[in-house]
Amino acid sequence: MLRSSQPLTGPNRKRCREDETLLGMVLDEGERGFIIDTRSAQAAKQARMTGGGTEPKSSYPHWRRLHRALERGRPLQESFIKLVEACNDASITMDRWLSRLESCRWLSHVKAALSTACLAAQCLDREEASVLVHGAEGTDTTLLVTALAQVILDPSCRTLVGFQGLLEREWIEAGHPFHVRCARSAYSHARLKQEAPLFLLFLDCVWQLSRQFPFSLEFGERLLLTLFDNAYASAYGTFLCSNEKERCLCKVKESTHSLWAWLNQPEEKEKYLNPLYTHNALVIWPSVEPQSIQLWHGLFFRWIRSSQYLDEAWAEIQQVVGGN
């Protein structure tokens, strides 16, 4: 699985031999590849007007392009804000709650993200074909798809340590601009242009997987909530800046502590482990039917409803499993 940003085809349908050669080299003799473009075909076409575009079939004959429009940027942030508003609105009656939830569109975005990641995973696992994923910049929906696909495909990404590695690779080093994406979150009136909850969407999708495969992830909800918190505001330098270059310039590694170092301490670590975890060597294919996708209570109602009874249940589970 490869990732990139969009090719700069532009309105004049420019070609680039090096790019074509590079992609050609990825494929074996007679092999076929898939390009998953996370923009709609329409949007991808329009991108040509501003210098971007898509890989033309003629120049990349062994690659087949699939479009899966994933929401990003401003509309995604709006979706997030609306959802948080709805969750905090005590005046909604039961007969309006679901339509209000629907109007936020957040769950649709979760469904779309999971579906696309599964598509990428299918290409690799079932079709045994290589996959190239890109959107426009290659820093948002692209990373969402590649990271999620790996959780689905690769059991080592589902371990605590493996998951941290995945985050480092596919989000932090890959250059997701945390600095601007995770700035003010949902309550701010500022409505910053660059803000968008892609990382939260990723965590939500991982939570959906943990619900559907309760034994297959070594970590639990608590880790996901901690990551969400730290992406926005942290005592650690792990999510600072927007890419490796900036981190170098700011001397992040020299002047801050790593979140991972703290999380991996034995006494901390056990709080994040899933007591039900057993190594599952197989691919985990989630259901993306609407009934299977649920609103992430633990996050969106975190401060609104007591988690006492659920926490007690987890303590019971720990006890039952631990006593063995």
Partner 1 sequence: VENVQLLDRLSSRKAAVGTLYLTATHVMFVENGSETRKETWVLHSQISSIEKQATTATGCPLLIRCKNFQVIQLVIPQERDCHDVYISLIRLARPVKYEELYCFSFNPKLDKEEREQGWKLVDLNEEYNRMGIPNNCWQLSDVNRDYGVCDSYPTEVYVPKSATAHIIVGSSKFRSRRRFPALSYYCKDKNASICRSSQPLSGFSARCLEDEQMLQAIRKANPGSDFLYVVDTRPKLNAMANRAAGKGYENEDNYSNIKFQFIGIENIHVMRNSLQKMLEVCELKSPSMSDFLWGLENSGWLKHIKAIMDAGIFIAKAVAEEGVSVLVHCSDGWDRTAQVCSVASLLLDPYYRTMKGFMVLIEKDWVSFGHKFNHRYGNLDGDPKEISPVIDQFIECVWQLMEQFPCAFEFNERFLIHIQHHIYSCQFGNFLCNSQKERQELKIQERTYSLWAHMWKNRADYLNPLYRSDHSQTQGTLHPQMAPCNFLYKFWSGMYNHFEKGLHPRQSVTDYLMAVKEETQQLEEELEVLGERLANLQKSQLNDNKVKSKQQDRSKQFGLSTSNKNLANTPQEYSHDLKSFPSRSPSQEDEDSALILTQDNLKSSDPDLSANSDQESGVEDLSCRSPSGGGCLPSEDSGKDSDEAVFLAV
List interacting residues with partner 1 (CB under 8 A). Answer: 66, 68, 87, 89-90, 92-99, 101-102, 105, 107-108, 111, 115-116, 118-119, 121-122, 126-127, 211-215, 276, 278-282, 284-285, 287-295, 297, 300-301, 304-306, 309-310, 312-313, 316-317, 320-321, 323-324
Nearest CB to partner 1, comparing residues 56 and 275: 275
Give the CA count within 13 Å in the CB-facing half-sphere of 298: 20
Q: How near is the Cβ of 313 to partner 1 at its closest, in Å?
A: 4
Q: What are phi and psi of 45, to 5 degrees?
A: -65, -45
Nearest CB to partner 1, comparing residues 118 and 241: 118
Q: How near is the Cβ of 10 to partner 1 at its closest, in Å?
A: 26
Nearest CB to partner 1, comparing residues 117 and 241: 117
Nearest CB to partner 1, comparing residues 56 and 298: 298
Regarding beta strands 33-37 and 63-67, do their DSSP bridges make them parallel or antiparallel, or are they unpaired?
parallel
Q: How near is the Cβ of 309 to partner 1 at its closest, in Å?
A: 5
Cβ-proximal residues to 132 (8 Å cutoff; 6+ apart), any chain:
1, 2, 3, 4, 23, 26, 33, 34, 35, 36, 63
Full strand arrangement of the beta sheet holding 63-67: 2-3, 130-134, 33-37, 63-67
How is residue 2 annotated by DSSP? E
How is residue 28 annotated by DSSP? P
Nearest CB to partner 1, comparing residues 117 and 136: 117
Q: For residue 155, give Cα distances in angstroms to 140, 166, 207, 215.
A: 24, 12, 16, 12
Nearest CB to partner 1, comparing residues 250 and 295: 295
Sign of torsion over alpha carbons 96, 307, 202, 231: positive
How far apart are the C-alpha atoms of 8 and 2, rounded to whole Å?
17
Q: How near is the Cβ of 135 to partner 1 at its closest, in Å?
A: 17
Q: How near is the Cβ of 170 to partner 1 at its closest, in Å?
A: 20
Q: How near is the Cβ of 316 to partner 1 at its closest, in Å?
A: 4
Q: How near is the Cβ of 176 to partner 1 at its closest, in Å?
A: 24
Q: How near is the Cβ of 212 to partner 1 at its closest, in Å?
A: 5
- Which residue type, as a one-letter code, is found at position 310? L
Taking each helix axis from N to C terminus, what angle separates 94-104 and 106-125, rounded to the nearest 10 degrees? Answer: 50
How far apart are the C-alpha atoms of 220 and 129, rounded to whole Å?
32
- Which residue type, as a one-letter code, is found at position 37? D
Nearest CB to partner 1, comparing residues 209 and 259: 209
Nearest CB to partner 1, comparing residues 187 and 215: 215
